[in-house]
Homo-oligomer: A and B are copies of this chain.
Amino acid sequence: MTKTASNTTAPTQLLEVNGLRYAYRRFGNGSGRPLLFLQHFTGTLDNWDPAVTDPLASGREVILLDNAGIGRSTGEVPETMAEMANHVFAFLDGLRLPTCDVLGFSLGGVIAQQMAQDRPSIFRRMILVGTAPRGGEDIMRLEKPSLAKHIQDPTNRGYDVLKKIFFTSSPTSQAAGQAFIGRLLQRKDDREPPSGPNVGSAQLAAFREWERFTGDRFADLKGIRHPTLVVQGFKDEMIPVRNSYWLAENLPNAVLLAYPDAGHGSLFQYADSFTKHAADFLSSESDSVVF
């Protein structure tokens, strides 16, 4: 635990496990259970908005992780969610953390679901933002025109593309996107190397595998009993909101919170509201998700 409870200043640490090195940050304090952050497609530790991490770090430790092959974490980026989940297990076992809460965003929300199925005791409560169940649809189809026009636009350099694909085209949402990028850039030193194209291609392969299902669609979700807060923007082009409907309807113990005029980055656009509801949810000791 560091003394500096912000993702703008928390030092990046390295943990050696099984011959691999995982890059992570751990900061904050309070009586709450540690909260693990699992990151979106191609994102690194530097993609976590301090407006989301820092308020949550005021009531508990937060732990941000780069999965294998991301940022300064070594190893290969896996092409399945199950292998990515195994890396997170190895990391948490290396930290000697038998259980925690989790905030999984997008790709990270899929990994969280996989982990909850593979080892239920690893999580107490889950927050799944902008994500999809196995068998979901239209997940990260970057080639579709509504996304490709932004991703392929050469004027969208660096974080600028996030303003286009994580936020809606409304002036309000675009302004929130600009503010989000400004917050990501507040961290000046000890930054992670950005992901290269190999990261995206492996993670996309994992998403394609995640869209496939056998047997009763969404039946796997019935076995995930964890209290789960599902959060989504109604205008998400990257993982459309119907995926969160399926997720929350089929998880036996989930509440759905959906935001207007928000895309994939709803948690960043409405960081004050999101962190307030998330903290209320996490502070409950009930077996029920309802808070």
Query: Which residues in A have some Cβ–Cβ distance to B below 8 Å?
Result: 234, 241, 245, 248-249, 251-261, 270, 273, 289-291
Contacts and interface: CB of A to CB of B under 8 A. Distances in A.
A260 B251 contact: yes
Given A241-B249, A245-B245, A249-B241, A256 B254 contact: no
A260 B248 CA distance: 8
B258 A256 contact: yes
A182 B99 CA distance: 40
A256 B270 CA distance: 14
A253 B290 CA distance: 24
A17 to B, nearest CB: 36
A252 B258 contact: no
27 contacts: A234-B248, A234-B249, A234-B256, A241-B249, A245-B245, A248-B258, A248-B260, A251-B260, A252-B260, A252-B261, A253-B260, A253-B261, A254-B260, A255-B257, A255-B258, A255-B259, A255-B260, A256-B256, A256-B257, A256-B258, A257-B257, A259-B290, A260-B289, A260-B290, A270-B290, A273-B290, A273-B291
Given A253-B260, A255-B260, A260-B289, 4 more contacts: A248-B260, A253-B261, A256-B257, A257-B257
A260 B234 CA distance: 19
